[in-house]
Structure 1
Amino acid sequence: MIKAILWDMDGTLIESESLHLATLVEALAHHGVQAGDEMHPFVFGKTGREVHALVRERFGIAVDFGEWSAFRARAYLNGAQRLAPRHGALEVYRAAKAAGITQAIVSNASRMLLEANLRTLGIEEPSLITVSVNDVRHGKPSPEPYERAAWLLRLAPEEVVAVEDSPTGAGGAIAANMRVIGWPVDDEAAALFPSEAQIVRSPDELAAKLGLDAFSMSIDPSLQQRR
């Protein structure tokens, strides 16, 4: 029986991947490097520190992490209020809440950006457990973020399920001995998930995997076929 759902944030609950990419491109341009969409595969699912290390190695940028991350954070916050939830994600989230299932957020983003996303989605609550990359020594794919969330919820790994849009996050939850539902954006991303992850293609399929039987009655039918 599922006692809690541990949600990834970026790309899973909120359509923020394009904004993260835009802040990276803007930061690179600030340091004289022209880049574009080709950077997305290099940063998808990674922590800010990992991206910083990558661009230092790839482009020879000498800026320290504090200055680099502050620039990207300002750019992100300037655009965060315009972000939208992933189609159907909030409907599943609210259906789980209505069913009495505990939920938590486990993100590879910094605390500042995670809280900006929570505000944009309107799901901030005093009792909501959230884990950001600032709360752990190692981000995903380390199991530490998911292990910390389970510890804070006082639950065992087998009592929770993680929902992820990236193979990186899925790997972290699997390493924490949790059941994982993968909700990739397309077939190409789905092929990269660990074999242990259960792949779904729509909000309706996700709800069914979570045991939310009444979900299909409450969601907009136009969203059921959208990924």
Structure 2
Amino acid sequence: MTSIPFTNVGAIFWDMDGTLADSEPLHLRSLIDALAHHGIEADETLHPLILGKTGREVHALCRERFGIRVDYAEWARFRARCYLVASRSLVPREGALDVYGAAREAGLRQAIVSNASRMLLEANLRALGIEDPQLVSVSVNDVRRGKPDPEPYVRAAWLLGVDAREVVVVEDSPTGVQAAVAAGMRVIAWAPDGTDAASFDASAHVVYSAAALAHALGLDIRSRESTSLRRL
């Protein structure tokens, strides 16, 4: 067996949207619905343009691209309502909770670091069933600058009391990877199928499956996968 890429892992910091949760389609749907509310037709071709961006950045993009004039507060409230209704059907990314659970059982400290608002982040945590009073999480409401700025990851390390060099970050977007690298952390880019590895920072370790992610972290998820299959 090949060697484990990451050793001396003190903590794992997870991105939420697209990494732990298969929520990108819900965010895209809320955007399409918001644009439709203002008489603008849009489709899935917007997705690459919004991947990893904050709500404010997406609003600015829509103002420039489509000429919408609604202010950010009203825009964000409408999108949030759309997303919260859809979040009832939210599912985890395939295999993500197996790796998350294996890390918890191994005694590794974990945190969630998201570019989403606190309200939407909490909705995702509830939908995935991983709410925990002890869980450290950072939303875009908790920082002055979201990803790709390193501040969200720096704050999570401070809250958890760990050195950046102990942390391995799991991200799915180039924006998130950039933030983690700038924070001085090691990064695993769990890329969506079909994503070119060259789109990520060269220092990131790119994987395409939960099994490869678990191996990179030195975790065994085979027994958890078997248990999940028996429950189906």
Q: When the two structures are superposed, what TM-score results if normalisation uses the length of structure 1?
A: 0.95
The structural deviation recorded for 1:186 is 1.9
Does 2:130 correspond to 1:123?
yes
Partner deviation per Cα, 1:6-65 (whole Å, 9 max, x = no partner): 000000001000010000000001111110011111101100000000001111111000
Does 2:2 correspond to 1:2?
no
Does 2:149 correspond to 1:142?
yes
The structural deviation recorded for 1:211 is 1.3
User: Which residue is equivalent to 1:198?
Assistant: 205
Does 2:39 correspond to 1:32?
yes
Structure 2: tracts of 5 or more residues without a match: 1-7
Does 2:66 correspond to 1:88?
no
The structural deviation recorded for 1:167 is 0.7
1:166–1:189 CA contact under 8 A, matched in 2? no
The structural deviation recorded for 1:216 is 2.6
Secondary structure class of the residue paired with 1:219? helix
1:190–1:199 CA contact under 8 A, matched in 2? yes
Does 2:227 correspond to 1:217?
no
Q: How many Å separate the matches in 1 of 2:116 and 2:22?
A: 14
Secondary structure class of the residue paired with 1:104? strand
Change beyond 3 A, Cα 1:200–1:53: same
Q: How many Å separate the matches in 2 of 1:81 and 1:14?
A: 12
Aligned residues: 222
User: Which residue is equivalent to 1:43?
Assistant: 50
The structural deviation recorded for 1:221 is 10
User: Which residue is equivalent to 2:195?
Assistant: 188
The structural deviation recorded for 1:3 is 1.1
Structure 2 counterpart of 1:30, which letter?
Answer: H
Does 2:177 correspond to 1:132?
no
Secondary structure class of the residue paired with 2:12? strand
Does 2:80 correspond to 1:69?
no
The structural deviation recorded for 1:222 is 10
Q: How many Å separate the matches in 2 of 1:200 and 1:172?
A: 18
Structure 2 counterpart of 1:60, which letter?
Answer: G
The structural deviation recorded for 1:112 is 0.3
Does 2:54 correspond to 1:15?
no
Bigger relative CO (Cα 8 Å, ≥ 6 apart): 2
Q: How many Å separate the matches in 1 of 2:185 and 2:196?
A: 20
The structural deviation recorded for 1:201 is 1.6
Q: How many Å separate the matches in 1 of 2:223 and 2:198?
A: 30
Partner deviation per Cα, 1:89-131 (whole Å, 9 max, x = no partner): 0000000000000110000000000000000000000000000
Change beyond 3 A, Cα 1:221–1:38: farther
Secondary structure class of the residue paired with 2:64? helix
Q: How many Å separate the matches in 1 of 2:155 and 2:132?
A: 19
Change beyond 3 A, Cα 1:23–1:153: same
User: Which residue is equivalent to 2:3?
Assistant: none
Structure 1 counterpart of 2:71, which letter?
Answer: D
Structure 2 counterpart of 1:85, which letter?
Answer: P
User: Which residue is equivalent to 1:169?
Assistant: 176
Structure 1: tracts of 5 or more residues without a match: none
